[in-house]
Chain A
Amino acid sequence: MSLIASGYLTPANVQEVVSLKRKLRDKALVVAGGTAAVQLISKMIIEPQAIISLEKVPLNYVKIRANSIEIGATTPIARLIRSRGLPDALKRAAESIHGLALKDMATVGGNIFTPAPAGDIATALLALDAILILRGGGGVRSVPLSKFYKGPLQFNIRPDEILTAVKINKPPKHSAFLKQTPWKYSGPTIASVSVSLDLDRNGKARRAMVALGGLTTHPYRAKKVEKMFTGKKLTEQLIDGAAQQLTDGVEVIDDALASSWYRRELAQVLFKRILYDFISRG
């Protein structure tokens, strides 16, 4: 590590990152693509004593196996678009990130930590029941994304751990992602919805996963709706009823971008669009 005295650290592998994290803990800022992390510095929110840049750590990969998918934490969004065999939800979420530069800079791992109005990839991954692989002084730990968010900007990660990969076990057969931005080709996410489904032979939902983004600091799973779907054949009536439960008990963001009422309505619309489209295709 040539630049160690400088405060800009470029570890060569995960082991070196972990040993730096053990030494520096929260005094160092981990930077992957930089699209979110660098703003913390330039907006003077934090003043880290050191930067741990992941630019040389070989975590830029997509591995598609027979029954699982593994994506390295520093894989840029653009690579998801190029990769074949990824679930539709993930692909659509990647395509929806605006502009060439952002797609090429922003990383899968970074997106998981970035609060609304970012977090589109995280929303899709949540609906795909992704598992996070964390490496720290104590070894490797797997944490389901659904158990990763403890509160706004509070994560189930220890100070000496880094996220190395995201894994999707048994990728669902059907998945979709839709989001709404203030204008067509760019802009912050007002609301996003991602749904994954596995159906049995009779067309009944064996597994249904529904994630909502942009409504809260981090995306969440609509567990109540998932329960309503499980074991049932999807009908317009069931979908309409479920849509009304999407934001039940959830405190939805109300800001200059959109009111909480608007976000709730929008989430229902996106959810219905996804599922109507799904049942119309049989």
Chain B
Amino acid sequence: MRIRFKLDGQDVEVDVKHTDTLLKVLKDKIGVGSVNFGCGEGSCGACMVLINGRLRYSCLTLAGYVDGKEVTTVAGLARDGELSEIQKAFLENDAAQCGYCTPGMILTAKVLLEKNPTPSDEELFDALAGNLCRCTGYIPIINAIKSVAKR
């Protein structure tokens, strides 16, 4: 089946199987670099994207679901080559080490701050519970998000 959707603002058309996950289509068929396969079961968040602005695990989303919708990856947050505020904050706070979890962390942070611009530590940890980082120990990530929350 052929699906059409917007990927980071660009129109995309691609042939998929009804059982293909969005992650597989983005990574293997379209070649998106910022979505990663981690656990395949919604624990690690490495595959996260926004679908019509809502945070989704692309490994748990079937490709058919995005037909006619808008998919945003972390790359889509930059405007005219300029990083978004939250992306800059991750850089400034050394919140990425190997970078595998970073796209999911940034997208989660973006959605959290839209809903709750001044999250408490407890709310931050709760929101990030679906994202796994094995390098940073989370503190630089928390600091990056807090630095945006403060502004």
List the interface of chain A (C-beta within 8 A of B): 3, 5-8, 10, 31, 33-35, 38-39, 41-43, 47-48, 50-51, 53, 55, 98-102, 104-105, 184-186
Taking the closest CB of chain A, its distance from the CB of B72, in whole angstroms, is 14
Would B64 and A8 count as touching, CB distance under 8 A? Answer: yes
**Contact (A101, B62) CB under 8 Å given A7-B1, A7-B17, A43-B40:** no
Tell which of A47, A51, A104, A185 touches B62, judged by Cβ atoms closer than 8 Å. Answer: A51
Would A8 and B130 count as touching, CB distance under 8 A? Answer: no
Would A99 and B131 count as touching, CB distance under 8 A? Answer: yes
Would A53 and B64 count as touching, CB distance under 8 A? Answer: yes
Taking the closest CB of chain A, its distance from the CB of B66, in whole angstroms, is 10
Cα-based distance from A5 to B127 in the complex (angstroms): 39
Residues of A within 8 A of B41 (CB): 39
Taking the closest CB of chain A, its distance from the CB of B124, in whole angstroms, is 10
Would A185 and B40 count as touching, CB distance under 8 A? Answer: no
Taking the closest CB of chain B, its distance from the CB of A77, in whole angstroms, is 12
Would A101 and B45 count as touching, CB distance under 8 A? Answer: yes
Cα-based distance from A276 to B40 in the complex (angstroms): 40
Would A104 and B60 count as touching, CB distance under 8 A? Answer: no
Taking the closest CB of chain B, its distance from the CB of A67, in whole angstroms, is 33
Residue of B nearest to A34 (CB): B60
Assess whether B126 is interfacial by the CB under 8 Å rule: yes
Taking the closest CB of chain B, its distance from the CB of A229, in whole angstroms, is 33
Tell which of A41, A55, A104 touches B19, judged by Cβ atoms closer than 8 Å. Answer: A41
Taking the closest CB of chain B, its distance from the CB of A114, in whole angstroms, is 11
Within 8 A of A (CB), among B1-53: 1, 17-19, 21, 40-43, 45, 48
Residues of B within 8 A of A47 (CB): 19
Residues of A within 8 A of B102 (CB): none
Would B18 and A6 count as touching, CB distance under 8 A? Answer: yes
Would B57 and A101 count as touching, CB distance under 8 A? Answer: yes
Would A38 and B129 count as touching, CB distance under 8 A? Answer: no
Would A42 and B21 count as touching, CB distance under 8 A? Answer: yes
Cα-based distance from A115 to B111 in the complex (angstroms): 29
Would A50 and B40 count as touching, CB distance under 8 A? Answer: no
Assess whether B67 is interfacial by the CB under 8 Å rule: yes
Taking the closest CB of chain A, its distance from the CB of B54, in whole angstroms, is 6
Residues of A within 8 A of B129 (CB): 98-99, 185-186
Residues of B within 8 A of A38 (CB): 21, 59-62
Would A53 and B62 count as touching, CB distance under 8 A? Answer: yes
Residues of B within 8 A of A8 (CB): 1, 18, 62, 64, 67
Residues of A within 8 A of B42 (CB): 35, 101-102, 105
Would B56 and A105 count as touching, CB distance under 8 A? Answer: yes
**Contact (A186, B43) CB under 8 Å given A3-B1, A8-B1, A99-B130:** yes
Residues of B within 8 A of A50 (CB): 18
Residue of B nearest to A2 (CB): B67
Cα-based distance from A52 to B124 in the complex (angstroms): 35
Cα-based distance from A43 to B42 in the complex (angstroms): 13
Would B61 and A101 count as touching, CB distance under 8 A? Answer: no
Kindly supply a per-residue 1/0 record for chain B positions 111-144, scoring 1 wherever the CB is within 8 Å of any chain A CB and 0 otherwise: 1100000000000011111110000000000000
Would A98 and B18 count as touching, CB distance under 8 A? Answer: no
Within 8 A of A (CB), among B84-122: 108, 111-112
Cα-based distance from A100 to B67 in the complex (angstroms): 23
Cα-based distance from A51 to B111 in the complex (angstroms): 29
Tell which of B62, B64, B111 touches A100, judged by Cβ atoms closer than 8 Å. Answer: B111
Taking the closest CB of chain A, its distance from the CB of B59, in whole angstroms, is 7
14 example contacts (A-B, Cβ-Cβ < 8 A) are as follows A3-B64, A8-B67, A38-B21, A38-B59, A42-B59, A43-B40, A51-B18, A99-B127, A100-B112, A101-B55, A101-B57, A101-B130, A104-B54, A186-B129
